[in-house]
Amino acid sequence: MRHTIRRITSGFTLVEVLIVVAIIGILATISIIGYSKIQAGARDTQRSTSITATAEALEKYYDQNGEYPSCAALTKSPSVVIATTLLGLDPTVLAAPRTTVGTNSFTCNSLTASSGDVFAYVGDGSSTCLTGTSCLQYTLQYREETTGNIISLQSRHSTQIATSGIAVLQAATLDFTQMNLTWTAVPNAASYTIQYSPAASFASGVVTQTNVVGLSTTVHGLTSGTKYYFRIAAVSPGSQGNWSNIASDTLWTLSAPTITSTSATAVNFTATWSTISHAITYTAQCSTDNSSWTGCNNQGLTATTFTFPNAIPGTLYYIRVQAVNGSFLSPWSSSVTAVTTIPAPTNVQVVSNSATQVTASWTAVPNAQTYKIEYAYTTNFSPLLGTASTTSPTIVFSSLGQGQLVSVRVYALIGTASSPASVPGSSVTPINQPAAPTYAGPASFTNRVYAIVNYQSYCPAGTSLYNGNFTSEFTSSGAYYGPHPFGYNDWWDLGSTTVNVYYWGRYQCQTANTTSPVSPDSFTTINVHF
């Protein structure tokens, strides 16, 4: 029997190869990661060394200058930095490991988790430290590559802000509740603290405001009319400077106006008052009782004079004024008074109703309560014949004298206030026709002997005889003689004849103002004998 022997040759399968490759890759990766960490650690060591070296150079700078350099000085090119600021420092320490050699990796901003490979030089927070000449303190930072942590190194010194100077403060009032403050800059001040008080000693009512930046601010919420005192101190991260000078000013206030003059007519009255500083408008009020002002309220007045309309004639008014600026009001002025006038009655008419009566009338005065009337027989009302009162614009006067010039003047009254006198009106009362005269004697008289022939007249009181005369007729011849005056010596030469002589008498009455009608005739027969 024949046996055949077969040689079998074997190698690595594809799976085995893939496994081997994977193992090799893992080992390579582990080696690379380990190496990268070693490199990162080396770079962190470099960063730490650079920061330390920089810190030592900064402290040397402080020992020589009493302050630290500004960030602007530290972030210049390495050649400038080592020549002007950090003398003797190896310029390579200014470059972070991952940056180009010869560059300056320092920045003025604090680092964050996302910051690149840079160094931070964080000063005292002032503009002087950032862009000016010096810093009072610093913090150096770098981000550790192996852990991502921010590593910080603080300055050994922290200079007090008091050494940087004292601000010069000024205060100026803006309005009723706001004060504007301005001050000079204090180097290295990160902010300022302000204090104010209504007491110059700052012993009470002190208000403090912190973290004020810039060189000016406006203080709000103050009390109008109050004088405030202010002081300011510069602040750095580590200290507060000395207080500045004390500046003060007084906030606006509205003082009470003073009413300087008033005037009045029958239907309005006017008030004028002083100008008040800071007032935009004025409110003027009036009252008839010096208590209730709501019915006469005139707001928004821009002038310092105002005429109150629709006044009642002859009324006492009280007036007060207030200055206004927005929601700020002055005290009310002291009240003053004005009395509206009462116009004199007009168109006074006097009409005679009879010889002893007249009617006076006039145009009514608005709001007049009563009228006072004066009447006289003279145009100058001296002496007065009498006075009267009425509520209507007409009145009748009786029992007057005949032939008299009756003058009337009228006053309008509201309460006790009186108008001026009206222009007088006048009229003359007539004189009634007098009665026929009465023959007074003699009944007869002797021829060729004078005899008083007389008639009796009847003129009313206050009048006088005017044009009194009579005529006579000799019956035998028919001749007329006269007229003769009342009361005269008559004489007849009749020879030896006894006759009757006829007399006719008439007269008038008069005053300086008028004359009466002629009286009726009176007839009388007188016997003339031997």
Checking if the pLDDT of 230 tops 90, the result is yes
Residue 421 has pLDDT above 80, yes or no: yes
> How are beta strands 297-301 and 191-197 bridged, if at all?
unpaired
Average pLDDT score, the chain: 92
pLDDT of residue 121: 97
Task: Output the six-digit token pair for 430.
Answer: 């007539």
pLDDT band at 363 (very low <50, low <70, confident <90, very high): very high
The pLDDT tens digits of the residues spanning 500-522 come to 888 888 999 999 999 999 999 99
State the pLDDT at residue 203.
95
* Cβ atoms of 106 and 75 closer than 8 Å: yes
pLDDT (tens digit, 9 = 90+) per residue, 318-338? Answer: 999 999 999 999 999 999 999
* Residue owning tokens 């700052």: 202
- Does the structure show a pLDDT above 80 at 28? no
Structural domains in the chain plus CATH codes:
44-154 (no CATH), 161-250 (2.60.40.10), 259-339 (2.60.40.10), 346-428 (2.60.40.10), 438-529 (2.60.40)
Question: Taking a C-beta distance cutoff of 8 angstroms, is the pair 431, 509 a contact?
Answer: yes
Q: Which residues are CB-neighbours of 120 under 8 A, at least 6 positions away?
A: 106, 107, 108, 109, 110, 111, 139, 140, 141, 142
Looking at the predicted structure, is the pLDDT value of residue 264 above 80?
yes
CA distance 454 to 486: 5
Rounded alpha-carbon distances, angstroms, from residue 345 to 117, 314, 371, 384: 106, 14, 9, 19
Residue with tokens 């002291």: 334
Lowest mean per-residue pLDDT among 28-32, 178-182, 223-227? 28-32
% of the chain beyond a pLDDT of 90: 75
Name the one residue in this structure whose structure tokens are 């009162």: 389
Q: Which pLDDT value is given to residue 34?
A: 62
Average pLDDT of the segment spanning 361-384: 95
What is the structure's pLDDT at 469? Answer: 86
Q: In DSSP terms, which residues pair with 122 in a beta bridge?
A: 139
Query: What is the tens place of the pLDDT at every residue in 155-209?
Result: 999 888 988 899 999 999 999 999 999 999 999 999 999 999 999 999 999 999 9
Q: pLDDT: is 453 or 57 the higher one?
A: 57
Residue 187: closest CA among 215, 164, 160? 164
Q: How many angstroms separate the CA atoms of 437 and 459, rounded?
A: 10
Lowest model confidence (mean pLDDT) among 22-31, 101-110, 262-271, 397-406: 22-31
**What is the rounded average pLDDT of the residues 285-292?**
95
The strands making up 499-510's β-sheet, listed across from edge to edge, are 444-446, 522-529, 499-510, 464-474, 479-485
pTM: 0.65
**100 DSSP assignment:** P
Per-residue pLDDT, 1: 45
- 115-127 per-position pLDDT tens digit: 999 999 999 889 8
**pLDDT score recorded for residue 10:** 58
For residue 246, is pLDDT > 80? yes
Residue in this structure with the two tokens 């300022």, named with its chain if needed: 192
Closest CA to 263 of 337, 313, 322: 337
The pLDDT assigned to 96 comes to 95
Q: What is the pLDDT of residue 14?
A: 79
Whether 475 shows a pLDDT value over 70: the answer reads: no
Residue 470: the pLDDT is 83
Where does the pLDDT of residue 16 fall: very low under 50, low under 70, confident under 90, or very high at 90 and above? Answer: confident
d(CA 455, CA 5): 217
Residue 218 has pLDDT above 80, yes or no: yes
Confidence check: pLDDT of 474 > 90: no
Contacts 24+ apart (CB under 8 A), 335-338: 335/287, 335/290, 336/259, 336/262, 336/271, 337/262, 338/262, 338/263, 338/264, 338/269, 338/270, 338/271
Least confident window among 75-84, 294-303, 468-477 = 468-477
- Pairing status of strand 499-510 against strand 464-474: antiparallel
Q: Are 246 and 231 in contact, with CB atoms under 8 Å apart?
A: yes
229: tokens are 């005192």
Rounded percentage of the chain residues whose pLDDT exceeds 70:
96
Res 7 pLDDT > 70: no
Contact 285, 320 (CB under 8 A): yes
Angle at 292 between CA 287 and CA 297, to 5 degrees: 60
Q: What is the mean pLDDT of residues 471-490?
A: 79
pLDDT at 454 over 70: yes
Distance from C-alpha of 312 to C-alpha of 115, rounded to nearest angstrom: 86
